[in-house]
Structure 1
Amino acid sequence: MSHTDSTDKEKDIESGHSGAGPVQEDVYEVRSAEVAPENTIARRFGALGPILTKLFNSGVEARGVERVPEDQRETKNAWNNLLMWWSVNMVLTTIPIGVLAQSVFTLTLPHAIATIMCFGALGGIATAFISCLGPQTGLRTMVITRFSSGYFGGTIYSILNILTQLGFSVTAVILGGETLASINPGTLPLVVGIIIIGLCCLVPCFIGYNMVHVYERYAWMVTFIIMLFLWGLGGKAGFDLDAQKPLEDTGKALSADILSFGGIVFGSFSGWAPVAADYNCRLPSTTSPWRVFILTFFGLWLPICFVEILGAALMTITDPAYVAAFGDTENTGALVAQVLSPWGGFGKFVLVLLAMSVIANNIPNTYSAGLSMQALGRPFAMVPRFFWTFLAFLIYTVAGVAGRQHFSAILSNFLSILSYWTAFFIVIVAEEHFIFRRRGGPLGGYNLDDYDTPSKLPLGIAGIVAGCFGVAGAVVGMAEVWYIGPLGAKAGAAYGADLGFELAAAFAAVTYFPLRTLEIRLVGR
């Protein structure tokens, strides 16, 4: 369909006419929701319609997973991509990932830095690619998956992404709450700190897309200065580059440690891939994909490396007070509080700001969790986006309160598992885009009007089966405390080496191409 034809139909819908004779009611509903979602939702809820209308008129976003028509795209500069991801990752939540290099894997600082930069670049490339699909399609990330894995396959990815974003949110609110509670120990219960962080994250996400971008455009400024403070104060306390030398493994065990920690680092970058297109789907389709790619990549790679390396560096401080602050409970918030302690009251003020930086990190999790709930299917999409956002907030806040004493275990296990499914998800979407949807390829592009019509989307068999092979690759290659796969065991020493995300991507890559080729040949879509 040409852009002109699409625009004409949008005008017909706004005026109440189909423009081409009778149309099916569900198709009309979808198209109406694209053009004027606030009117569609108000009409859908009858007596509650006036209340919803007032809510939308006050600035709350009505649009959910509906495609953004070209004539409703905003001309915001793609540089917002850089600033947004910089704010999202220049935060307290990124520090504990670097801490794991020593606390779990006993790597020296040079090895930790090399692992963070290399595996981080790989994850940044993957996420930056997905980000490019937002302006090209005008769709949210989970809806884009329907063009490779079908409607049902897209639902499976949505479930995985809901769990992913809620998992990220749990770690964020726990760490933010820990830090607030450590400012004046014994005065603010950890549970209250978690609830405060959760509520602050909810507000901009409830309002929606524009407020998310406004907040993220400026949030990085304060936290960047605070990170510089931490580097300076940590250096004054004494970074000891040889602190981990006696503890670091050698030979095959060292390789296993690097691979396992690398999987966690990859997950900290690629974990944003399932939401990357959500935050630029309102950019014009004429926006340069290379500009979006480069700005997204450096918006991720620079701040994440900067802060994760800081976390690794703080673990080299051998002063007994700093070691005791981290303690057996592996409390990163208390360690950061100890770093700022020489500044007294001002240090506590800085710590409050640092704890609140978690909000910038958790906003995309909360906002995109609500969108992924809508992407489960049309019945879910009919419920307003802000309802699902509020539900996500309730779930992760309650889970954060319940799991508040197990932060490090949640973080290390969660990020490892996260890297598995995002790896095969990225590979499948990339093969569909570059091979089957390329100009001159078997399908010749995306018919974007089909995004919510199951009969016009792929059956999804190829995508689902390739995803299952990806799971199989992760299972045989993973190395977790609770399970070590056969290949993971052979690659490492006593605790194995985590090859989960590499094998998940490889298994999916080699199976998706022939299966999708066969699917197109037999079905034609």
Structure 2
Amino acid sequence: MGTTSNGKTATVTPVIQQGRLDGAERRSVDFVPVAERHGTVRHLGAVWLVANINLTAMATGVTTLALGGSLFWTLVATVFGSLFGTLFMALHSSQGPHLGLPQLVQSRAQFGFLGAAITVWVFAFVNYFNYNVADAILAGSSLHFLLGIPTSWGFPIAVLIAGTLALYGYRWIHRVNRFLVAPLALTVVILTFAAVARGGIPSGAFTPGPIQWHSFATTFVIVAGFQLGWAPYVSDYSRYLPPTVSTRSSFLWTYLPSAISALWVIGLGSLLAAATPGVSVIMAIAQGGDALMAGGGRIAVALLFIGLLVVMALNAYGGSLTLISIVDCYRRVRPSLFLRGITIVAMTLSVGFVAAMVGEEQFNVFYGNVLVFLAYLFTPWTAINLVDFYIVRKGCYSIRELFNPAGIYGRWGWQGNVAYIGALVMMVPFFVTEPFTGWIAHRMGDIDISMFVGLVVASLLYLLTSRTLDLSYERSLVEKEGIAE
């Protein structure tokens, strides 16, 4: 027996394995029964506050200021980008307590059993992988600064620590994040004071001046994409919460901490870059800390390095669930701690290898392109997934059928795939990237509005194609499981 999408009791298929709450997490992509639900919605606040207080978020601010806009308009674009991008990831977070499933498993309802693996999960894995490559590069630079060890040694040390936390899983990730809230928040406050009061920001930097729309729009896309990058696995960290948790409370406890921490830390990265132009993000932080007291820079870098390890663990954990889900689409697997360990090891080893190839010198180019392209890839998906959950099916899904390759959701959900591909094609003329700029964007002065195009087109296409769904039959199956409202 277990609970379904609205918390009622129902029998679930044998693919769902009984888990344990002691020690390392035993579950992976399977359903979480109500007997194993625990925690409070406030725990989400700690996870999503800490998730953005790290070196990578700081580096995002350095990257956006390097686009050529003024500090004032860069900060304004950062605020709007964070508030906008976080809106969607927080709406996804509310799906966790309701369904008790990893985020991407629910995508089978829109894209089909195999369609989700190809259309969504491969892109999701690329998302986890590339973010962790960027994180590993910064981790290596941090350890080189702190301990004097070669940067190449820092990669494996960081991925080993992060991979271990990811292996222990959900409960330990939540615990570590709650422990780090106070020290990391205090670090950000102190660095902000250092940047503003003693950081040497050029006079007139906060004067609005003329706006450069190209850099403003690109900054908006980068920051919104940074937050949207959490969407494919945000509900992985809320799926163990009791089904009685309301949509409103899970949304707010995700949105407010994540949006505020993102705009603050990314904005702080821009402030430090303005105060110390031409240096790496590590040295900018170090100089900001040293401006307050001797050795303050090392303390700040060390604490933000710990925050970086946590976000690497989040990525490794989500990446392992995605790999297992992809394999499960082609060959049924039994979710287990051992299988999750294998996928985490495979991911961490490959991340360390690619990070060593990219290197610190190419970080800004690599990271800037990653943020923009991932924003493009996940914009149509987030629109389709949210429209399906909140408008089309209204949160009513057959848990059993989501694990059945021959079930009602089919192998290929043409409705979701058509909407996704159609939206992505319509976005291309609006792309603004280093290797390619769309013809419409070029005529608009290289202003990137592709995210807005993708959200609107994907939503409308899915609303249109979803009219062919037999929702009455699906609801009858849900009622047999005890899922109906």
Q: Report whether the alignment pairs 1:414 with 2:370.
A: yes
Which residue is 1:41 aligned to?
none
Paired AA for residue 517 in structure 1: R
Q: Which amino acid aligns with 2:303?
A: L
Name the counterpart of 1:19: none
Paired residue for 1:63, among 27, 38, 47? 27
Residues in 1 aligned to 2:83 and 2:186: alpha-carbon distance in whole angstroms: 24
Equivalences for residues 470-485 of structure 1 within 5 A: 470-485=423-438
Q: Deviations over 1:254-295 (max 9, x none)?
A: 122211111001011111111011011111111111000011
> How far apart in 1 are the matches of 2:466 and 2:10?
34
What letter matches 2:282 in structure 1? G
CA–CA distance in structure 2, aligned partners of residues 174 and 381 of structure 1: 33
1:220 aligns with 2:177: no
Q: Does 1:403 align with 2:364?
A: no
Give me the whole-angstrom Cα distance separating, in 2, the residues matched to 1:380 and 1:175. 37
Could you report, residue by residue, the CA deviation over 1:148-167 in whole angstroms, capped at 9, with x for unpaired residues?
21112221211111100111
Structure 1 residues 399 and 451, CA gap change in structure 2 (3 angstroms): same
Contact 1:421 1:504 in 2 (8 A): no
Change (3 A) 1:323 1:122: closer
- In structure 1, C-alpha distance between the alignment counterparts of 2:255 and 2:373, rounded to whole Å: 22
Deviation at residue 524 of structure 1 after TM alignment: 7.1
Letter in 2 for 1:364: L
Q: Which residue is equivalent to 1:447?
A: 398
Give the whole-Å Cα distance in 2 for the aligned partners of 1:368 and 1:394.
16
Alignment partners' CA distance in 1, 2:333 and 2:91: 26
Q: CA deviation at 1:169?
A: 0.6
Output aligned runs, 1:131-170, within 5 Å.
131-156=93-118, 157-170=120-133
> Is the Cα–Cα contact under 8 Å of residues 72 and 206 in structure 2 kept in the other structure?
no
Q: Give the 3 Å change call, closer, same or farther, for CA 432–359 of structure 1 in structure 2.
A: same
The offset of 1:70, in angstroms, is 2.1
Identify the residue that residue 277 of structure 2 maps to in structure 1.
Answer: 323
Q: CA deviation at 1:6?
A: 8.1
Q: Compute the displacement of 1:2 (Å).
A: 9.7
CA contact (8 A) 1:421 1:470 kept: no
Residue 71 to residue 349, structure 1, CA distance change in 2 (3 Å):
closer
Q: How does 1:17-56 map to 2 (within 5 A)?
A: 28=14, 30-31=15-16, 33=17, 36-37=18-19
Report the CA distance between 1:332 and its aligned residue.
1.2
2:90 to 102, 112, 128: 128
Give the alignment's TM-score, normalised by structure 2.
Answer: 0.89
| Aligned-pair CA distance for 1:3 | 5.2
Whole-Å separation in 2 of the counterparts to 1:237 and 1:258: 24
| Aligned-partner residue type, residue 414 of structure 1 | V
Determine the C-alpha separation between the residues in 1 that align with 2:332 and 2:342.
Answer: 10
After the TM superposition, which residues 103-502 of structure 1 pair with which residues of structure 2 at under 5 Å, given as runs? Answer: 103-104=66-67, 106-156=68-118, 157-183=120-146, 187-234=148-195, 235-240=197-202, 242-243=204-205, 254-317=212-275, 322-324=276-278, 326=279, 331-342=280-291, 343-378=293-328, 379=331, 381-382=333-334, 384-404=339-359, 405-438=361-394, 445-459=396-410, 460-492=413-445, 496-502=446-452
Q: Report the Cα distance in structure 1 between the residues aligned to 2:451 and 2:333, rounded to whole angstroms.
A: 31
Going from structure 1 to structure 2, the CA distance change for 1:417 and 1:244 (only over 3 Å counts) comes to farther
Which residue in the other structure is 1:53 paired with?
Answer: none
Q: Structure 1 residues 521 and 482, CA, compared in 2 at 3 Å: closer, same or farther?
A: same
Tell me if 1:513 matches 2:466: no
C-alpha displacement at 1:128, in angstroms? Answer: 0.6
Opposite residue 134 of structure 2, the aligned amino acid is T
Please say if residues 86 and 259 of structure 2, whose CA atoms lie closer than 8 Å, have aligned partners that are also in contact.
Answer: yes
Q: Using a 3 Å threshold, how does the CA distance of structure 1 residues 256 and 350 change in structure 2: closer, same or farther?
A: closer
* Structure (1 or 2) with the larger CA radius of gyration: 1
Name the aligned partner's letter for residue 161 of structure 2.
C
CA drift of 1:72 comes to 2.4
Partner Cα separation in structure 1 for residue 163 and residue 2 of structure 2: 39
Distance 1:410 1:223 in 2: 27
Question: For residue 176 of structure 1, what is the amino acid of its counterpart?
Answer: A
1:139 deviates by 0.4
Q: CA deviation at 1:96?
A: 1.4
Query: Match for 1:79: what amino acid?
Result: R
Amino acid aligned to 2:376: Y
Q: Which amino acid aligns with 1:102?
A: L
Count residues in correspondence: 462
Deviation of 1:7 after TM superposition, in Å, equals: 5.1
- Residue 435 (structure 1) shift: 2.4
Cα displacement (A) at 1:37: 4.9
Deviates more, 1:215-224 or 1:204-213: 215-224
Matching residue's letter, 1:142: L
**Following the alignment from structure 1 to structure 2, what is the Cα–Cα distance between the partners of residues 483 and 467?**
21
Contact 1:373 1:380 in 2 (8 A): no
- Deviation of the 1:8 alpha carbon: 6.8
2:473 and 2:422 map into 1 onto residues whose CA distance is: 22
Structure 2: how far apart are the matches of 1:146 and 1:152?
8
Which shifted more, 292-301 or 88-97? 88-97
In structure 1, C-alpha distance between the alignment counterparts of 2:154 and 2:464, rounded to whole Å: 51
How far 1:521 moved relative to its partner?
Answer: 8.4
Please name the residue that 1:42 is paired with: none
- What is the rounded CA distance, in whole Å, between the counterparts of 1:256 and 1:349 in structure 2? 37
Could you tell me how far 1:411 is from its partner in structure 2? 1.2
CA–CA separation in structure 1 for the residues paired with 2:28 and 2:277: 47
Alignment-mate amino acid for residue 288 of structure 2: V
Q: Offset at 1:244?
A: 9.0
Gaps of 5+ in 1: 11-26, 39-55, 440-444
**Relative to 1, partners in 2 of residues 1:298 and 1:272: Cα closer, same or farther, differing over 3 Å?**
same
Identity of paired residues, percent?
21
For the aligned residues, what is the CA RMSD? 2.6
- By relative contact order (CA 8 Å, sep 6+), the higher-ranking structure is 2
- The 3 A distance-change label for structure 1 pair 396 and 340 is same
Shift, 1:183, TM fit: 3.9
SS of 2:300's equivalent? helix
Check 1:334–1:8 CA distance in 2 against 1; reply closer, same or farther (3 A cut).
closer
Following the alignment from structure 1 to structure 2, what is the Cα–Cα distance between the partners of residues 497 and 305?
21
